[in-house]
Amino acid sequence: MQELTVGTRVDHPRYGEGMVSRVTLTAYEIFFERGGKIEITKRNTDLSVKELKEELRPNGSLTLDEVEKVLIGVLDRYNSLPALVPLGEKWKEGILELKPGNPELKSKEIPIETFFHKIVMVRDRLRVLEQNINSHPVLTDTEKIDLQQYITRIYGSLTTFNILFAEKEHYFVGAKS
């Protein structure tokens, strides 16, 4: 395989797409979308070049654009970037009012968009939790299934909030009977 330079985009069957961030005498340091920063020997035959960066910068560093692309790839892969989830039209500019049973206490108003954003964040974090459970190296399959069942029940508890979503594909789905 040809000598890779800093900024070269590569693909690996296990770690996915990555970008070479440093070149040593015997290895490449690569930031992968799955696995983060990994050092791979230059003799590794699993790497395939997606886009060869011809020129090596004098200090061997990545540009800000290149670092941003790698970070976006990693964050997107692990659902750390919030997906664009539209709020149902009828709820836009709406207010959620929380009224206490005691009339002497003050009620609280929250914009529905703010509340909706929090619900979507809970859903996204549950998805990341699911991924972490499924890829956990120590948990047994039985333990993974048990934890997945808890998460499914949590989704079921959140189905009440499906009325806020504009599209059914974003709905919470609990256990199917």
Q: What are the domain boundaries of the chain?
A: 9-77, 89-170
Token pair for 42 = 């230059």
CA distance 162 to 152: 15
Residue 125's contacts (CB-CB under 8 Å, 6 or more residues apart) are none
Q: Compute the Cα dihedral for 154, 156, 161, 162 and give only its sign.
A: positive
* Residue 78 predicted with pLDDT over 70: no
Residue-level pLDDT at 68: 75
- Are the C-beta atoms of 36 and 77 separated by less than 8 Å? no
Tens of pLDDT, residues 94-147? 999 999 999 999 999 999 999 988 888 888 888 888 888 888 889 898 998 999
Cα angle: 153, vertex 159, 95; to 5 degrees: 135
Global pTM exceeds 0.85: no
Token pair for 48 = 């395939």
CA-CA distances (angstroms) from residue 142 to 4, 38, 126, 148, 177?
Answer: 43, 30, 19, 10, 21
Residue-level pLDDT at 79: 57
